[in-house]
Structure 1
Amino acid sequence: MTPHAAPDRIRLFLCGDLMTGRGIDQIMPWHCPPHLHEPYVRDARDYVELAERESGPLPRGVAEDYVWGDALRWLAALAPDRHLANLETAITGSEDHWPGKGIHYRMHPRNARLLQAASLDACALANNHVLDWGYAGLAETLDALERAGVASAGAGRNLAAARAPAILKVPGKGRVIFLSMGSDTSGIPAQWAAASRQAGVWLLPERTSRAAAEVAAGVQAIKGPGDLVVASIHWGSNWGYTIPEAQRTLARALIDEAGVDLIHGHSSHHVRGMELYRDRLILYGCGDFLNDYEGIGGHGPFRDDLTLMYFPDLDPRSGRLLDLRMRPMRIRRFRVEDAAPGDARWLAELITTLGKQLGTAATLDAEGALRLDSP
């Protein structure tokens, strides 16, 4: 991969879920009150202690770039045109937690600057944590992102706002149209669906045909020559490698019928397989990119501490994928660091094994990055 994207291609940085609440929020200079409403853990500082038992003392009052660790070096070296992620944490001091939910993520509004530290251009918000702290929490999240200069999609003060894309100009190359939507299969409560006079998230209909038609209507109204459309979808379970046929059907329908050029799927806490369809990239599960799970047992075989930085190069004229490199990373001490060579090989083997049913494979290049192959 060249250090900078060539003039005839647009390079993106994509990653999975940013879960920057609870423990991570507690080690930042500003943090929300630590009390939680979980069935077993009542204090967010307990997650810090769990991580410290696993990896040693954690710093307190860390700078906003701390959590990004080695990722910042790769962002500088590969110079993507636009940076995109799924923000699965409310940015709020609201105390109006959503009743009946087992987990509630939030980070202090002043910590929104950590998104700026990685030069994030836009965040997907159609997920099952953005309303953890109620409608006041959602409103504060939207305001905090606007103040930070980070665009958002997928949630808003009404349905039209939730469906509205983030339109990201790439000077001299075109535009990236970033859409965010969610499925109830990811645990998004039905009550969170935005309506004409109700704030909430863009919750897709269960039927694939209706979901594709909704997305197509929005894309057709805005997509022009030189525009790349990225559909960021929160779908499916937290654990497991099986890709439901309904997800494959929806992804292909969005490409065939809605003119989507890349599917950015997330919800799983670990990396899942990926597919190339009509030269379009479908990422079924990008995994967590930042979380406070260190020291929590129970899902070790899935290696949820391993994650990827995705750097796809796309042709802005046709939308087809030109190249994909992935940097293997590890979440440790509430930050991302370069994965060890053995861990990088494990990720390559995982993607190749999962890709047997999807027509894809991954190999390690001389620089330690994963390259997507189509055997």
Structure 2
Amino acid sequence: MSLRIGFTGDVMLGRLVDDRQHDRSVDAVWGNTLERLRGLDGLVSNLECVLSTRGREWTRTHRPFHFRADPDWAVPALERAGVDACALANNHVLDYEAAALRDTLAALDEAGIARAGAGETIDEALEPAAFTIGGSDTELDVAMISLTDNTPEYAADENSPGTARVEFDVETTETRQRVAAALERARGTDPDLLVASLHWGPNMVTEPPESFREFGRWLVEHGVDIVHGHSAHVFQGIEIHDGSPIVYDAGDFVDDYAVDDDLRNDRSFLFVLAVTADGRPTELRLHPTQIDDYAVHEARPGAAAWSRDRMRELSEPFGTEFDRDGETLVLPLDDGEPDGND
């Protein structure tokens, strides 16, 4: 029996999303994807905002955008979607200084939503999220580390709160040592599935640099079962290394951002990994999504076709080929060969 764990790109619940949510139901932000989300055995998201009504905007360095959502609706919305874990290592967790970050950590903890990537100190930020998916018949223990190379001023240290920040370069000794130690801590939870959620690189870039490719492959070779990348606001291609998918960027899942007519940062996928009871990934399914009215929806046929074609184009340099099942792209991860039909 397989379990299905979903991965989303950026979930930004602040600004206009927050404003709109005060006039509609808690779960409206998930649009018509809610049933699919709730039908999964597990769900992981990059939370691209703080959950707080406190704090003051970060002004110590220039920050053009500040994202904050009211936890009174945002936490129940995450619960309604069945979010099991949030990656917090990103460039917005200190947008409203330490008070709002602390509120975020407390809100997720109270809701029983696992989190990794940010904390009161670098030691806490590097602590893996450990959670269990599935039900009474089959359960799977998951561990996730969350790292970023964004916003050096938001990095945690031994005495200050912030993110788990590294340079994503396997040639850097400090990076290898810090990430290897984080992976060792994650393995110490005895997981069936090991996830690395990485907020890396600049915005609106459609291809990963070679250093990210090397780092992604290094992670897989050190036991990571799926690399869950995000940060660019547009999805990037997928590479399979030793049977494990490297999703270089999952794009945006829900936000209020201006849309680039060429790059279409309002379009992406819900990435659903099928995993055997002993933790072996067997298939990755990509369900096309699009953002409309500050909510995420199943993509309309034209948008879905654009996203499928774009994903195939971006993944082709990695030798990655997809099957298709209706509107969904299917990527087998076992020994079977995709038939490449359209």
The TM-score with structure 2 as length reference comes to 0.89
The alpha-carbon deviation at position 194 of structure 1 amounts to 1.1
The alpha-carbon deviation at position 226 of structure 1 amounts to 5.3
Q: Which residue is equivalent to 1:341?
A: 301
Amino acid at match of 2:182: G
- Among 5, 10, 16, the alignment partner of 1:17 is 10
1:356 & 1:207 partners in 2: Cα distance? 24
Q: Which residue is equivalent to 1:81?
A: 41
Deviations 1:22-44 (A, max 9, x none): 00111223xxxxxxxxxxxxxxx
Q: Which residue is equivalent to 1:355?
A: 315
Q: Which residue is equivalent to 2:127?
A: 164
- Among 319, 331, 338, the alignment partner of 1:372 is 331
1:25–1:107 CA contact under 8 A, matched in 2? yes
SS of the aligned residue for 1:272 comes to coil
Where do 5+ consecutive residues of structure 2 fail to align? Answer: 333-337
2:26 & 2:207 partners in 1: Cα distance? 36
2:225 & 2:125 partners in 1: Cα distance? 20
1:95 & 1:136 partners in 2: Cα distance? 5
More off after superposition, 333-342 vs 356-365: 356-365
1:17–1:266 CA contact under 8 A, matched in 2? yes
Deviations 1:293-315 (A, max 9, x none): 2xx35x21111121211111124
The alpha-carbon deviation at position 201 of structure 1 amounts to 0.6
Q: Which residue is equivalent to 2:335?
A: none
The alpha-carbon deviation at position 206 of structure 1 amounts to 5.1
The alpha-carbon deviation at position 177 of structure 1 amounts to 0.3
Q: Which residue is equivalent to 1:217?
A: 181
Q: Which residue is equivalent to 2:153?
A: 191
Amino acid at match of 1:66: A
Task: Output aligned runs, 1:109-258, within 5 Å.
Answer: 109-111=71-73, 112-170=75-133, 172-184=138-150, 188=151, 190-205=152-167, 207-209=169-171, 210-223=174-187, 227-257=192-222
Q: Which residue is equivalent to 1:324?
A: 284
- Among 244, 256, 274, the alignment partner of 1:313 is 274
Q: Structure 1 residues 197 and 321 mapped into 2: Cα distance closer, same or farther (>3 Å)? A: same
2:162 & 2:14 partners in 1: Cα distance? 20
- Among 13, 26, 34, the alignment partner of 1:72 is 34
Runs of 4+ in 1 over 4 A off after TM superposition: none
Q: Structure 1 residues 222 and 288 mapped into 2: Cα distance closer, same or farther (>3 Å)? A: closer
1:87–1:123 CA contact under 8 A, matched in 2? yes
2:202 & 2:323 partners in 1: Cα distance? 27
1:291 & 1:300 partners in 2: Cα distance? 16
- Among 242, 249, 266, the alignment partner of 1:278 is 242
Amino acid at match of 2:295: R
Where do 5+ consecutive residues of structure 1 fail to align? Answer: 1-5, 30-60
2:124 & 2:17 partners in 1: Cα distance? 29
1:17–1:267 CA contact under 8 A, matched in 2? yes
Q: Which residue is equivalent to 1:262?
A: 226
1:126–1:182 CA contact under 8 A, matched in 2? yes
SS of the aligned residue for 1:300 comes to coil
Amino acid at match of 1:304: N
2:242 & 2:51 partners in 1: Cα distance? 38
